A and B are shown apart, each in its own frame.
Chain A
Amino acid sequence: MSDLVVGQELITGKVTLTRFSLVRYAGASGDFNPIHYRDDVAASVGLPGVLAHGMLTMGLAVQPVIDWMGDRGELVEYGVRFTRPVVVDGNGGVTVTVTAKVGAIEDDITRIDLTVSANNQTVLGKSQVRVKLHP
């Protein structure tokens, strides 16, 4: 049986994204929009800088939960809102932090809420992972 309680912190994670990370994700995903690797293009469309792909942020943010869960359960649903862009500095990159807490326990589904921050701001909203943990 699950001994989790709502509000309990499960795990945290931290990833440093650099321009290399963005180019690598562009190649892996096929999303070659130049706002993710060219400062001049980002500036020309009014962005504050080169941005991480939203899907890269979403992809890395769930990993701590996957690692925590291991073979104890299965992923049922994962959803996010892209609320703020993640600006990736050309020199130092940016650190993205993830905190995963138990958001709700509904029958056999555990909802895990993620707080995902970069540059001292949360960057994803309503970031929720639903898992079915084995009894």
Chain B
Amino acid sequence: MNKELEGRVFPPTSPYLVGREKVREFSRAVFAQSPLNHDPEAARAAGYADVVAPPTFAVVIQEAGLALLLAAPDTGIDFSRIVHGEQKFTYTRQIVAGDELTAILTVTSIKSLGGNDMITAETAISDATGEHVVTATSVLVMRGTE
């Protein structure tokens, strides 16, 4: 893996408009049953603008950032050997339907450990006003070839 990737900041992803039905679909997929995830009235009564996305929905936005990383020609990343090692989300607020989200991915660390390479990518996700919503941090492990 290209060690010089460390510190690289990728350009912002195209804005992702969070749809109400997408939130409901994702909620069903992760077994999220709260009315806040499904019912706009319940969400508004609780002070949200619309249905609330489950905590891991940010992975969908992170994916657009990771796609830029994996498509870069000089990374030395072999996608077929990549395993998802760790994932973390740090929240300023929860994502709600109607949010228009942009992600900026930074490669914060590249390490070699026991024949494997580990890349840490931090994806900062902001709304249309530029306010931070959530940061998604992934550790990807590229298994050695031997």
A residues bordering B, Cβ < 8 Å?
15, 21, 24-25, 27-31, 54-56, 58-60, 62-63, 66-67, 71, 74-82, 126
Q: Is B87 at the interface (CB under 8 A from chain A)?
A: yes
Q: Chain B: interface residue count, which band?
A: 20 to 34
Q: Is B26 at the interface (CB under 8 A from chain A)?
A: yes
Chain B contacts for A56, CB-based, 8 A = 29-30
- Quote the shortest CB–CB distance from B132 to chain A (angstroms): 13
Chain A minimum-CB-distance residue to B32:
A63
Is there an interface contact between B25 and A28, defined as CB atoms closer than 8 Å? yes
CA A73 to CA B146, docked complex, whole Å: 48
- Known contacts A29-B60, A62-B55, A82-B86; decide if A15 and B31 are in contact (CB<8 Å): yes
Chain A contacts for B28, CB-based, 8 A = 24, 28
Is there an interface contact between B26 and A54, defined as CB atoms closer than 8 Å? no
Is there an interface contact between A30 and B29, defined as CB atoms closer than 8 Å? no
CA A66 to CA B28, docked complex, whole Å: 15
Chain B minimum-CB-distance residue to A13:
B31
- Quote the shortest CB–CB distance from A81 to chain B (angstroms): 5
Interface residue from B25, B59, B83, B90 paired with A55 (Cβ < 8 Å): B59
